[in-house]
Amino acid sequence: MEDTALRQKDGSWGLSGNALKLMALVFMTIDHLGMLIFPQYGFMRIIGRFAFPIFAYMIAEGCTYTHDRRKYLMNIFLLGVLYQIAYWFVEHGLYCCIFITFSLSILTIYAVDFAMKSKNAAAWILPVLALALDWVLCEELVKIPFLKSLDYHIDYGFFGVIVPVLVYVPKNKWAKLAALAAGIFLMYLDRHGKTLWMLVSVGLLALYNGKRGKLRIKTLFYVYYPVHLVILEIISKILK
C-alpha cells in the first residue's frame, strides 16, 4: 500500500506522514502495554520512546499546513479534555495527556508565528507570555501540594511542549531534524532515563517525503489515543 511503502506511485521515495503516524501508534501502544500490563519488559518502554518525536514533528507540520488553525487547535484540545474526564473516572487523577501537551505546543507555535510575521517588535511579547504560561503549567503547578497529591503533571513536561515549536521554526527539512534532535537532548537533560532512545525516530523522520498519504485516517489518530489508553487502564485494573 502506498501509504506505507518507501516507493510512492509518483516515483518518489520515502515515508508519508500517514505511514510515520501509523508507526508511531504502534510504538505508543507497545509503550503503554509495557507501562500498564507488562512492566517487567523494559524493552517495551524503550520502543515506546520512538513515538513522541514523530507525533511532535507532525504537530509542527499540522500547524504549517492546516487550512483552519482554530479548528486544528480545538480538535486537539477537546480530545485532551475528553480523555481527562475519562481518566478522572478511572484513576481520579489530574495527569494531563499528550493532547494537552500538544495543545500548549500549538498555542505557542501560533504565538511565535504571529511574532515572526509581525513588523512590530512588541509582538514578541506574545510568545514570551506563551512560554511563561507553558512553564507555569508544566513546572510550577506540580509543586502545589494539593495538585501533587492528585498526580497533576503535563505529559513530557515543559520541554515536551517546546519540541514541536523548535521543529516548526526552521523551514528546511534537515534543519527541522536538527531542531528535533536538540529538543530531544533538552528533554534528556531534564528527564534522563530512556529519553535518548527518541533519537532513533530522527532517523525515521529523515525518510519523510513531505506527503500526507492518500488514506483519510485523521480520525483514527484523534480517537485511538484516548480509547486505547482507557481500555488498557481498565484491563490493568482488572488484572490487579
pLDDT for residue 108 = 98
92: left (phi over 0), alpha (psi -120 to 50) or beta: left
How many CB atoms are closer than 10 A to CB 118?
12
Give CA–CA dist 233/53, Å, rounded.
Answer: 24
C-alpha cell at 197: 532512545
Task: In whole angstroms, give the CA distance from residue 97 to residue 230.
Answer: 12
What does the block give as the cell for 240? 490487579
Question: Contact 164/56 with Cβ under 8 angstroms?
Answer: yes
Q: Where are the domains of the chain?
A: 17-239
Under DSSP, the state recorded for 196 is G
The pLDDT of residue 227: 82
Contact 16, 3 (CB under 8 A): yes
Q: Cell 509581525 maps to which residue? A: 118
The whole-number pLDDT of residue 12 equals 57
Give dist(CA 228, CA 80) in Å, integer: 14
Alpha-carbon distances, residue 170 vs 14, 121, 123 (angstroms): 20, 20, 19
Q: What is the pLDDT along the chain (240 residues), one digit of tens a residue?
A: 344 445 554 445 789 999 999 999 999 999 999 999 999 999 999 999 999 999 999 999 999 999 999 999 999 999 889 888 877 877 788 999 899 999 999 999 999 999 999 989 999 999 999 999 999 999 999 999 999 999 899 999 999 999 999 999 999 999 999 999 999 999 999 887 889 999 999 999 999 999 988 777 777 877 888 788 878 888 988 887
Q: What is the DSSP string of 153-178?
A: EETTHHHHHHHHHHHHS--SHHHHHH
